[in-house]
Structure 1
Amino acid sequence: MSIRSTIAAVVAVSATALTCTHAFAQQAPAPAAPVKNIVLVHGAWVDGSGWKPVYDRLTHDGYHVTIVQEPLTALADDVAATKRVIDMQDGPTILVAHSYGGSVITEAGVDPKVVGLVYVAAHAPDVGEDEAALGKKTPSYTAKQAGAVQKTADGYTFLNPDDFASDFAADLPAKQAQFESQSQILTAASVFSTPMDAAAWKTKPSWGIVAAADKIINPDLERWYYERAHSHTTVLEGASHSVYESRPKEVAAVIEEAAKHAQNG
């Protein structure tokens, strides 16, 4: 082969390689940017202020964080309150919930702006299910305590203040737990027995945190929820139901993981 022919062959091979590399680059999608909008949803008997330790960490890391204040008067009312906040977001959003709030985001999370769900010691029922019935199948420590959950004459529930610290907030400072026991948001009993109309975890990626020392929701039920939803699961040993307040570093880390990977499948 002449020198001219050899050079021509090398050029042809190089051109083919460049063409293949260019084609591969066109086919390989670029990683999606992290989601910046985070919406936090509280559970029964408390309000959104308990999210402040997590809020502080997320905003410090550059996230836009909004906290829903649910009325706790009916599941539909709480879902509507959450959807209002989702509507306020300017793009893709991670929806995070604690406890009963998990039922709320399971319905509200079907919103197209929501690209990922994070369950923090939370319920995650399927369509037609309700958390009260599921809780009876896997009862919690609190559910077995006579008189722990009290009800008003008009059908609103609260946790007996004498049981609040040990059951809901065992790993919080005593003064903080005492204050929260006396500042509970009375919650309509009906929210716990209203069946789901939607189950966003079936179509959206999800992350779940098991509070291993939870007395309000049986940790085994939390594990079951997350396994069924194929959630990326983190178990926090020794954490009470107030894990979002007592372990904000770990909880924020899971939320940020969801924000970084939700749009990449």
Structure 2
Amino acid sequence: MRAFVDGSSWNKVISLLQSKGLNVLAVQNPMTSLQDDIDTTTRALASLAGPTLLVGHSYGGSVISGIGAQASNAAGLVYIAAYAPEEGESVLDLNGKFPASPASAHFVPSYRDGFVWIDPPAFGANFVQDIPEIEAQGLAVAQNPTALVSFEVPAPVPAWKRLPSWYLVSKNDRTIQPEAERFMARRIGATTREIASSHASPVAHPYEVADFILHAVATVR
């Protein structure tokens, strides 16, 4: 779960997790509102049997925080350079606690009314600066625009208050300030690791991301 890229951004991580025998499902959220994304993910989670770890990247952290509080089979939350809001707090509220990220200067209206994305020419340098430019250009034009209201709505009671959590900080993040990530990780009491990655760590550093998720899986088991 994430903003601006779709579920295919997890492909490399998915293959690594499946090779370890894990059952993996990448949810394609509509990105029309936080509640719509929570509802979509709730239905996906209901299709899975047994204890399940919810993994969210970027805005996806808000989604897993909201769904986990109401899902009986949610066993833990894994945040990958993701938002972990408190009840009543929005993504914009969290961003306002820290200096603006470099990417924020490039959030522009997309081709869908009421939706935003990262200006494609600025995408590579500000979202995933540590992969080949030709690959970044492909992701830039395949972005999944996000409804601006998704960033404005107050979050529901977060699941991290009752579930164990893990947080992977991207030290070279230009989309969410790394200090904001560290702040959220501390606030939720997450088991935390840092890697030298851009914001899009599942794309740029799949082995490190998969290893972190596997660590969480082993702990839950």
- The DSSP-based 3-state class of the residue aligned with 2:194 is strand
Q: Given that residues 140 and 217 in structure 1 are in contact (C-alpha distance below 8 angstroms), is that contact kept between their aligned partners in structure 2?
A: yes
Map 1:26-175 → 2, pairs under 5 A: 41=1, 43-110=2-69, 111-138=71-98, 139-143=100-104, 145=105, 148-152=106-110, 154-175=113-134
Amino acid at match of 1:121: A
Counterpart residue number, 1:197 = 156
Amino acid at match of 2:134: K
Amino acid at match of 2:218: K
Amino acid at match of 1:117: L
- Aligned counterparts of 2:161 and 2:129: Cα–Cα separation in 1: 33
Amino acid at match of 1:124: A
> Structure 1 length as normaliser, TM-score?
0.80
What do residues 1-60 of structure 1 show as CA deviations (whole Å, max 9, x unaligned)? xxxxxxxxxxxxxxxxxxxxxxxxxxxxxxxxxxxxxxxx2x111100000010000000
- Aligned counterparts of 2:19 and 2:123: Cα–Cα separation in 1: 31
Which stretches of structure 1, 4 residues or longer, exceed 4 Å deviation after superposition? none
Shift of 1:154: 2.4
Amino acid at match of 1:242: A
Unaligned runs of 5+ in 1: 1-40
Count of aligned pairs between the two proteins: 218
Identity rate, percent: 38
> Structure 2 length as normaliser, TM-score?
0.96
- The DSSP-based 3-state class of the residue aligned with 2:157 is coil
Q: Is 1:225 aligned with 2:208?
A: no
- Aligned counterparts of 1:44 and 1:249: Cα–Cα separation in 2: 21
Match of residue 246, structure 1, among 196, 204, 210: 204
Amino acid at match of 2:128: A
Shift of 1:70: 0.3
Amino acid at match of 1:132: L
- Aligned counterparts of 1:78 and 1:101: Cα–Cα separation in 2: 9
What do residues 208-231 of structure 1 show as CA deviations (whole Å, max 9, x unaligned)? 000000000000000000001110
Shift of 1:134: 1.1
Amino acid at match of 1:142: A
Q: Given that residues 55 and 79 in structure 2 are in contact (C-alpha distance below 8 angstroms), is that contact kept between their aligned partners in structure 1?
A: yes
- Aligned counterparts of 1:240 and 1:130: Cα–Cα separation in 2: 23
Amino acid at match of 2:202: Y
Shift of 1:173: 1.6
RMSD: 1.1
Shift of 1:155: 1.1
- The DSSP-based 3-state class of the residue aligned with 2:96 is helix
Unaligned runs of 5+ in 2: none
What do residues 137-182 of structure 1 show as CA deviations (whole Å, max 9, x unaligned)? 2132222x2xx11115721101101110000010112111001111
Q: Given that residues 68 and 82 in structure 1 are in contact (C-alpha distance below 8 angstroms), is that contact kept between their aligned partners in structure 2?
A: yes
